[in-house]
Chain A
Amino acid sequence: MRSTTTPTLPAHSALNPLIMLDDVHRAYGQPPVLAVAGVTLRIMPGELVAIVGPSGSGKSTLLNLIGTLDRPTAGIARIDGLDVDDLPDRTLSALRAYRIGFVFQQFHLADGVTALDNVADGLLYAGVPRAERRRQAAVALDRVGLGGRLGHRSNQLSGGERQRVAIARAVVGDPPLLLADEPTGNLDTASGTSIVELLHELNTQGTTVVVITHDTELAGRLPRQIALRDGRVTRDSTGSGTAGALAGSSRAET
């Protein structure tokens, strides 16, 4: 009988949760408004999870917390075994550089720069020399099905292609965790579907993928859905994601 609490296991064991949030709160402004009000959840390595909720439900804030772009005002956020609250900017930045890839609704590609260089920027802060960055970028673009578009500038690409470039940039360093914020939000249905397929594909290759969306149909195509409303988890499709439950350990046994 194995358990995540077994002390003999190394920190990055496949059986330790990649994301562990424990009664996490995030308040903004004065008087404080809680964007995230007590979320507890575990996401294990290799999962493909949708965090779904209407706008204003706190899902973007949750993604920021998971991506270590933001720190909780209360509670514990442990990403990849590291307690976000204890870490200096330097370590968190390194965590983002090596362990987490981000995909945004607006793609955030540099205009007038080739797809290859946009993707190579994903390794800019990981201390990889330029030539090697470009080599790995070509591999990543091939992986997202854009092997023939290396030299295209981002404004010459369609929306779906741009999002593929953005995904390639996120996965070029082969991070264990990919966070996607409304990745299909700016795309038509067909391109959106192909992006979801791509995320599935990356997941089968071993990447843990967390997708934020307000689109329940899209969420329904993913194995696990965590529904969010008013900063709280209202439903976790594994049936154990609600406040206080140890989702991680129950999934570890399956």
Chain B
Amino acid sequence: MLRLGTSGLRSRPTRAVLSALGIAIGIAAMIAVVGISSSSQARLNAQLEQLGTNLLTVQAGESLMGQEPELPPDALGKVRRVEGIATATSTATLQESVYRSSLSDPDATGGITTLVADQNLLGVVSGQVGSGVWLNSATETFPAVVLGSVAAERLGVVAPGTQIWLGGTGFTVVGILDPVPLAPELDAAALIGTEIAIDLFDFTGSPTTIYERSADEAVETVRDLLPPTIAPEAPHEVTVSRPSDALAARTAANDAFTGLLLGLGSIALLVGGIGVANTMIISVLERRREIGLRRSLGATRRHILVQFLTEALLLSALGGVFGSALGTAATGIMAGINGWPFALPPVAVVVAVTATLLIGAIAGLYPAVRAARTPPTAALSS
């Protein structure tokens, strides 16, 4: 049966390849979309695994009076006493601008915020120092600064040791951070120690943002406990957010895009199916004599039907297999370029090939019925 089904394809290889191409492209598009989005999802999952999803960020929200939002100075101490919390740290925003040098244009602040950072900040937000060192008990008391990755780029600082101009004082850059996925606000920040902030800028000790980590299962409880703990009189003025949710939300936005691409892929698949149907109809018209000959050799209508249906199925299966390979390759290349883990659910490939067989059956049915209805006398009419 297979030998018979392929005979028509083997005698017209170019046409077989071209008509299978439509299906191949459709399947390749769908496999690639699924593969690429699941690879990027796998990357995100790995990242979250590494960073943890138990980090909560506490900030002062808008007060009803519209005053400058600020957490009470003892907020960090209160947070540390909440049951379930493992570590906590804080940053405070200073209204000081950062420049490359004293000669820089005072308006060109570059959108860099000056933050007072606790020494344990990096550990809590899972940050990494790219070059140089993090603040320690010694450098905390001196005009030393650690720049976030974006801040360093904007200031044109490539290596530690450079002097920058912060709040009217020269500060020495001691370290540059890698991007911090869970606390992207640190990327555009210049971080200085508490001691020097008190000395130079009259820092009051009121934190702007508190970062804390708790056990995974305690996150929801802690989340509810934090606002009333920090500000019992106005808990609604305290916002608690979970940065890992923001990362996941970004992927969800990508998913909408994925849906669109999948839609495009299925249109390509539909067009491919019509291509196969078209090829088969032409083939039936062209092969009236072959059909007549087979009928004269004793083929029943059913034999002819099965032969042409097999041919259509093979044609689309050919496209399906080729397309799956193409889509898998595309996924592999995308994952390789972006440094993602390769993740393609096997079920996607199985579904794709099954779908092509279904399309082949639907596309092949009408031509096959026509072939079976071709009168056997066609072989004799010349």
Contact = CB atoms under 8 A, between A and B. Distances in A.
Interface stretch (A76-84, A120-128, A222-230): A120-128
B11 A97 contact: no
Interface residues of B, number: 25
A138 to B, nearest CB: 18
Interface in A124-169: 124-126, 130, 169
B380 A125 contact: no
B11 A122 contact: no
Given A108-B289, A110-B7, A96 B297 contact: yes
Contact of A94 (B292, B298, B377): B298
Contacts of B129: none
B300 A93 contact: yes
Contacts of B299: 93, 97, 124-125
A155 to B, nearest CB: 12
Interface residues of A, number: 31
Contacts, number: 75
Interface in B351-378: 375-377
Contacts of B294: 124-125
By CB atoms of chain B within 10 A, which of A64, A110, A126 has the most? A64
Interface in A36-91: 60, 63-64, 67, 69-70, 89-90
Given A104-B293, A108-B289, A93 B382 contact: no
Contact of B11 (A70, A89, A112, A125): A112
Nearest to A102: B296
Contact of B376 (A69, A94, A110, A125): A69
A22 interface: no
Interface string A90-111: 1001111110101011101011
B380 A122 contact: no
A97 B294 CA distance: 10
A69 B297 contact: no
Interface in B209-224: none
B377 A98 contact: no
Given A69-B377, A104-B379, A105-B382, A125 B7 contact: no
Interface of A: 60, 63-64, 67, 69-70, 89-90, 93-98, 100, 102, 104-106, 108, 110-112, 121-122, 124-126, 130, 169, 181
Interface of B: 3-4, 7, 11, 289-290, 292-303, 375-377, 379-382
